[in-house]
Every structure is written in C-alpha cells, then in structure tokens.
C-alpha cells in the first residue's frame, strides 16, 4: 500500500500540472472515445461497422466523435476507392498508445461495477430516509 506522503506528493504533482492535463483528458475521457478506440484497436473499420459494435451511439454522435478523434491525431480516415465510396477509420500509433490504460480502466469497471451500483443504491436509500 502506498503511504500518505507518496499520495500527497502524487496529488500535488497532478494538481501542479492540471492546466496541461485537463485539456488532454477532456479529449479522451468522454462518453464514446474509449469505446471507439477499443473497436478500432484490432483492425480498421468502416463507419457502419463501428456503429453496429457500439450499441446506443447515434449516427451524429459517432460522426462527431470520429471527426474529433481524427483532429486529435488518434484515428485516421481513409476514403476507399469502392462503389459506392467507402470510408475506413484506423487507430494511429498515438491512439494505440492508449490501449493499455483503456484496458486497465475497462477491467477496473468490470471488477468494480457491482460495488458502484451497490453504493448508488445505498446512497439513494439513505437519501430517501432523510
């Protein structure tokens, strides 16, 4: 276990760099980015294939997210010489560098989802009694 001094130092360091950290986190920690990059990690995909794999994403939300990811250098967009013209999205090396932290985050979510749900229920129950 990390002692409090190490945690204080890590916290102070993170807060000192927050002006540089927050804009980056704003670009990668939104609702769909992690899932889109997870879909693209193993192989490039066309728009509709990505949409099918991401249950619940709207056409507009996916289009906007892919434009944002392309602008941020995390994915590339390639127009395919097919009839009709197709577009394929692929993860870049920069996007691929997020694989390990995203896998760790997804694993954490799977391991702790039930605990978070239980905490929500307990909080709501306590709030209802107050």
Query: Which tens digits make up the pLDDT trace of 40-99?
Result: 989 999 999 999 999 899 999 999 999 999 999 999 999 999 888 889 999 999 999 998
Strand order of the β-sheet with 75-80 is 45-46, 86-91, 75-80
Q: What is the pLDDT of residues 107-129, one digit of tens each?
A: 999 999 999 999 999 999 988 88
Does residue 75 have a cis bond before it (omega within 30 degrees)?
Answer: no
What's 17's DSSP letter? T
- pLDDT for res 29: 85
Cα gap 52→35, rounded to integer Å: 12
Residue 85, SS3? Answer: coil
Kindly report whether the global pTM for this prediction surpasses the value 0.85. Answer: no
Rounded to an integer, the average pLDDT of 25-51 is 91
Residue 87, SS3? Answer: strand
């Amino acid at each position: 276990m990390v002692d409090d001094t190490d945690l204080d130092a890590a916290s102070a360091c993170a807060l000192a760099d927050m002006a540089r950290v927050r804009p980056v986190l704003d670009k990668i920690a939104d609702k769909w980015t992690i899932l889109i990059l997870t879909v693209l990690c193993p192989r490039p995909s066309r728009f509709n294939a990505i949409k099918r794999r991401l249950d619940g994403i709207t056409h507009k939300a996916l289009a906007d997210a892919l434009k944002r990811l392309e602008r941020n250098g995390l994915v590339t967009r390639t127009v395919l010489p097919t009839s009709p013209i197709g577009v394929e999205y692929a993860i870049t090396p920069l996007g691929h560098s997020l694989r390990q932290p995203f896998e760790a985050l997804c694993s954490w979510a799977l391991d702790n989802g039930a605990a978070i749900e239980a905490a929500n229920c307990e909080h709501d129950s306590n709030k209802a009694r107050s």
